[in-house]
């Protein structure tokens, strides 16, 4: 019997897990629009690594219960981002490895997700693996990308000469003078 061919853009996760399917490949970074948009303008012309990915389906049998549907995903790439110190491109390696459990519907997914450490998703008719992996890679981006040591020394802005603050008269000094004046005035009469 010929093994079933699975399409990563319209993956039937239940059948894929039942068949213990395995898919892998590479996608150009440009094919993942949201991830490619993270590249800084000054790095748009630089060559980038493709996204190397793989997915494996698994059907875990549980004694006395329905088998569980699992999808194990892996993806890796390197992407230039903008260093938050020097504002120059910094290449960040992204590696994602995640196991996702699929359940019948959204309600079951929400309930299990709250009480379990597993990543739980609702089983859909088809799953776009590219979108799933793009989401996972976006979540793996560093919050503050930066070089370990910036390639160019940071330029400190020249300090402005310190100006002496304007000396304004103390508003209570005038009251003090009036008070002294009234106490002196009362004694002279």
List the strands of the sheet with 65-82, edge to edge.
22-27, 51-62, 65-82, 89-103, 119-122
Q: Rounded to whole angstroms, how far apart are CA atoms 75 and 159?
A: 47
DSSP letters spanning 140-155? HS-SS---SS-SSPPP
Helix then strand count (H, E) for the chain reads 5, 5
C-alpha span between 109 and 98 (Å, rounded): 17
For every one of its 189 residues, what pLDDT tens digit does the chain have, with 9 covering 90 and above? 456 788 999 999 999 999 999 999 999 988 999 998 988 887 777 778 899 999 999 998 888 888 888 999 999 999 999 988 888 888 899 999 999 988 877 777 777 777 777 787 888 889 999 999 999 999 999 999 988 888 777 666 665 666 666 777 777 777 777 787 766 655 544
pLDDT at 189: 47
Over the Cα atoms of the chain, what is R_g?
A: 32
Dist. CA 65–CA 77, nearest whole Å: 38
**pLDDT value, residue 128:** 94
- pLDDT at site 1: 46
Which residues make beta-bridge pairs with 11?
127
């Amino acid at each position: 019997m010929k093994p079933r061919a699975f399409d990563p853009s319209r993956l039937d996760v239940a059948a894929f897990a039942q068949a213990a399917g395995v898919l892998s490949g590479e996608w150009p970074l440009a094919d993942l629009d949201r991830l490619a948009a993270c590249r800084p303008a000054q790095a748009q012309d630089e060559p980038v690594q493709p996204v190397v990915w793989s997915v494996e389906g698994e059907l875990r049998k549980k004694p006395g219960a329905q088998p569980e549907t699992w999808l194990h995903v892996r993806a890796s790439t390197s992407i230039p981002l903008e260093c938050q110190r020097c504002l120059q491109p910094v290449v960040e390696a992204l590696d994602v490895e995640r196991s996702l459990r699929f359940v019948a519907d959204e309600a079951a997914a929400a309930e299990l997700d709250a009480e379990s450490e597993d990543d739980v998703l609702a089983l859909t008719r088809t799953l776009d693996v590219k979108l799933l992996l793009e989401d996972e890679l976006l979540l793996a981006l560093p919050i503050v990308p930066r070089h370990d040591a910036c390639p160019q020394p940071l330029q400190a802005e020249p300090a402005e000469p310190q100006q002496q603050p304007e000396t304004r008269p103390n508003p209570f000094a005038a009251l003090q003078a009036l008070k002294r004046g009234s106490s002196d005035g009362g004694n002279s009469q």
